[in-house]
Amino acid sequence: ETGVTQSPTHLIKTRGQQVTLRCSSQSGHNTVSWYQQALGQGPQFIFQYYREEENGRGNFPPRFSGLQFPNYSSELNVNALELDDSALYLCASSRDSQETQYFGPGTRLLVL
């Protein structure tokens, strides 16, 4: 059984640019949650997608947006990048929206 995968592993962007991060959920999972982890902090919830619909959102501005596809993979898009967006972005999948979450390896984003 393949676990949660994320791409790319690392990314460098400049302020003002846009970025798309990708996540493939574990087989049999219909829910994907995205988290941002700044250096030295715990993960902070961005949003969750359940069966292709947004199912909850944390305290992040609208320039953070997402998508979930029919195969339950997901994208996180960030527009107008700011320096503070530099972080590890984690994706987690689960069998259902309230079930145990299993995390991918993350995408490290650096904004210069």
Partner 1 sequence: AQSVTQPDIHITVSEGASLELRCNYSYGATPYLFWYVQSPGQGLQLLLKYFSGDTLVQGIKGFEAEFKRSQSSFNLRKPSVHWSDAAEYFCAVPDRSQGNLIFGKGTKLSVKP
Least distance CB 16 / partner 1 (angstroms)? 27
Please identify, using beta-carbon distances, which residue of 20 and 44 lies nearer to partner 1: 44
Binding site for partner 1 (CB under 8 A): 4, 6, 31, 33, 35, 41-45, 48, 50, 55-58, 90, 92, 94, 97-98, 100-106, 108
Least distance CB 103 / partner 1 (angstroms)? 4
Peptide bond preceding 43 in cis form (omega within 30 of 0): no
Please identify, using beta-carbon distances, which residue of 81 and 89 lies nearer to partner 1: 89
Reference 101, options 21, 22, 30; nearest CA is 30
How far apart CA 86 and CA 67 sit, in angstroms, is 21
Least distance CB 44 / partner 1 (angstroms)? 8
Q: Determine the distance from the C-alpha atom of residue 67 to the mean position of all C-alpha atoms in its chain, rounded to a whole number.
A: 10
Give the angle 44-87-41 at the CA atoms, nearest 5°: 50
